[in-house]
Amino acid sequence: MSTQLPVSLINGTDANCVNAADRGLAYGDGVFETIAIHAAGPRFWNRHMARLQSGCHRLGIAPVDEAVLRKECDNLLGRVAGGRNYVLKIMVTRGAGGRGYRPDTSVTPTRILQLHDWPELPPGASGIRATLCSLRLGNNPQLAGIKHLNRLEQVLARAEWDDPEICEGLIQDQGGRVIEGTMSNLFLVKNTVLLTPDLTRCGVAGIMRNIVLEIAAGQDYASKVCDITLNDVFMADELFVCNSLAGIWPVTELDSNRYPVGPVTTRLQSCLQAFDDDKHEWRA
């Protein structure tokens, strides 16, 4: 295949420009999903769709027809070589509306699908370097957990470093609680207990975060969703971050702090490789 990526569909039509009045552009009024495409198709499709629809519901955006999204996804995948990995980004905005914050309930949501090449990711087995960001997330329970389009906090946090050896930055909220990475969820291991931050005030409830918790339960690891302090992070036996593209990344360095790639993290990585959540999710 000779299709040059990225390639986009907007409301099912080949295009790379949205209406200048689209509320996703004007206000970040929408949600998105970033989906790994493997040889068998989109990975964890049902989970991504559930979160997408939940985010639309919480923002008061009309639900998306999943069959339409599947058809459009197949359209894009039919243009590229099979047997390779890609990244699919799906964005749903409230649609094009007039000036002003008040949403117009009569507008039709905008669907944007983009297919990208698979990024170069550092190997997860050896661990990554991370840093602590100075930016603090604003607390807003009404938006907590949603993967909404307004990512300015993450943009500013990611702009804090340009060292290519640093793969991720951890972010605190206004109360000093450690919430997540700029593009990942955070886990600590202490005395074999798995700890992950409470996301009821802010942060994104990642697909991979939920999978890790499910795997941990299946391996009889105790886990706890709770407030995480900087001291908790510094005193952790193991530290790792995760997202739907990278899987599990052990953190071996956080500024001046060092961590081993420990047995719990290694076991979870191994279980994730064998984790099969895609049976009958896509093509028969």
Show me where the domains of the chain are located. 7-117, 128-274
Region of poorest pLDDT, from 20-24, 116-120, 121-125, 163-167: 121-125
In this predicted structure, the answer to whether residue 69 has a pLDDT above a threshold of 60 is: yes
Nearest CA among 90, 74, 87, 232 for reference residue 147? 90
Band (99; pLDDT cuts 50, 70, 90): confident
Q: What would the mean pLDDT of 188-210 be, rounded to a whole number?
A: 97
Q: What would the mean pLDDT of 53-81 be, rounded to a whole number?
A: 96
Band (35; pLDDT cuts 50, 70, 90): very high
Nearest CA among 212, 160, 201, 194 for reference residue 179? 201
pLDDT at 31: 98
Q: What would the mean pLDDT of 260-275 be, rounded to a whole number?
A: 94
Cβ neighbours, 10 Å, residue 189: 22
How is domain 128-274 classified at the CATH fold level?
Answer: D-amino Acid Aminotransferase; Chain A, domain 2 (3.20.10)
Q: What is the mean pLDDT of the chain?
A: 94
Nearest CA among 80, 154, 92 for reference residue 116? 80
pLDDT at 104: 87
Architecture of the CATH domain 7-117: 2-Layer Sandwich (3.30)
pLDDT at 283: 46
Band (280; pLDDT cuts 50, 70, 90): very low
List phi, psi (to 5°) of 184. -155, 165
Segment (H or E) for 7:
strand 7-10
pLDDT at 54: 97
Query: What is the share, in percent, of the chain residues with pLDDT greater than 90?
Result: 87
With b for 16 or more beta-carbon neighbours within 10 A and e for fewer, the 37-57 pattern comes to beeebbbbbebbbebbbbbbe
Rounded CA separation 213/165 (Å): 28
**What confidence tens digit (pLDDT) does each residue in 125-175 have?**
789 999 999 999 999 999 999 999 999 999 999 999 999 999 999 999 999
pLDDT at 284: 31
Q: What would the mean pLDDT of 216-240 be, rounded to a whole number?
A: 97
Burial label for 1, CB within 10 Å (0-12, 13-18, 19+), is: exposed
Band (2; pLDDT cuts 50, 70, 90): low
Catalytic residues: 34, 147, 180
